[in-house]
Amino acid sequence: MFRIKICGITSVEDALAAARAGADAVGLNFYPKSPRHIDLDTARQIVDRLPAGITKVGVFVNAAMEEVCRTFDQLGLDLIQLHGDEPPEFLARLGLRAFRLGPAGLEALAEYLAACRRLQCLPRRTLIDSFVPGDYGGTGKVPDWAVLSVYPAEPWHPPLVLAGGLTPENVAAAIRTVRPAAVDTASGVEISPGRKDHARIAAFVAAARRAFEAR
C-alpha cells in the first residue's frame, strides 16, 4: 500500500514528475465540479504512461456505484477513493474513504467506521481532510493535527491517510505529530489548481520519505 500520494493529477507530464520524484500513488479526480477534474480520455493517457508500481487511485464524489465501477474497470485503477457523502452501504472494501474533519472532531468518523464494521465493509484506509463547507477536498486547509493524533488505534480501524494543506514545508511535522500511515497532497504542490509544480512535488516526496524513515 502507498505511503506518499500526489492527488489531482491532470496531465501525463505531472504524473511522470510524481513517479520520477518517488511518489507511491497518484490520484485522478472524476468529480465534475473540481478544478482538477479530468475526463476518461485524459485519465487513460495518464494511466497508460505511468510506470509499473505506481498505485492509481480514482477519486469520486457522490457518484453512482455503476459509474465508479465502470471507470475503475475501464482504466484498470488500483483503488477507489470516495470523497463525498457516501453511506457505509456504498462500501465493499473498495479502497479509501475520505472524511472532512469538522467541529465535531473524530466523533462522526468513529460512528461511520463502527457502522462499516457492523456491515463488514470497512475501507482499506481512512483519508482525513479539512472541513470547508461546500467543498470536497483540495482546499489547502490544514485540519487539526492534535485531534488527529488520537485517531483510534484498535487493530480493526483502517490505517490513517493524512491530507489537507500538506506542503513540502510542513509534511515532516505532520508525520511526526499525527503518525499517519500515508500522506496525500494536491494543492500543496501546485502552481495553480490542477497544474503541478514539479520541483515542489520532488521536495514534498523527499521530505515525507525522510520523515517516515526517521519514524
Confidence of residue 27 (pLDDT cuts 50, 70, 90): very high
User: If you write DSSP's letter for every residue of 45-86 in order, what string do you get?
Assistant: HHHHHSPTT-EEEEEESS--HHHHHHHHHHHT-SEEEE-S--
Domains of the chain: 4-214 (3.20.20.70)
Please give the pLDDT value at position 22.
98
pLDDT of residue 92 exceeding 60? no
Structure confidence by residue, pLDDT tens digits, 9-23: 999 999 999 999 999
CB atoms within 10 A of CB 208: 25
Burial of 17 (0-12, 13-18, 19+ CB in 10 A): buried
Residue 15 CB contacts under 8 Å (≥ 6 apart), including other chains:
9, 26, 46, 49, 50
For 125-169, the pLDDT digits (tens) are 999 987 766 666 566 788 889 999 989 878 899 999 999 999 999
Q: What is the mean pLDDT of residues 189-196?
A: 95
Whether residue 69 lies in the annotated active site: no
pLDDT at 138: 60
| Catalytic annotation, pick one of 7, 14, 116, 184 | 7
Residue 60: partners with Cβ closer than 8 Å, 6 or more residues away: 30, 31, 67, 68, 71, 80, 81, 82, 83, 84
Note the pLDDT of residue 4: 98
- How much is the pLDDT for 89? 81
Bridge partners (DSSP) of residue 190 are 196
Query: b/e for 131-151, b at 16 or more Cβ within 10 A?
Result: beeeebbbbbbbbbbeebeeb
Nearest in space to 183 (alpha carbons), one of 151, 153, 157, 205: 205
Instruction: For residue 39, indicate whether it is catalytic.
Output: no
Which residue carries 497532497 as its cell?
Answer: 185
**Is it the case that residue 93 has pLDDT exceeding 60?**
no
Options 14, 24, 116, 129, the catalytic residue: 129
Residues 29-86 pLDDT 10s: 999 999 999 999 999 999 999 999 999 999 999 999 999 999 999 999 999 999 888 8
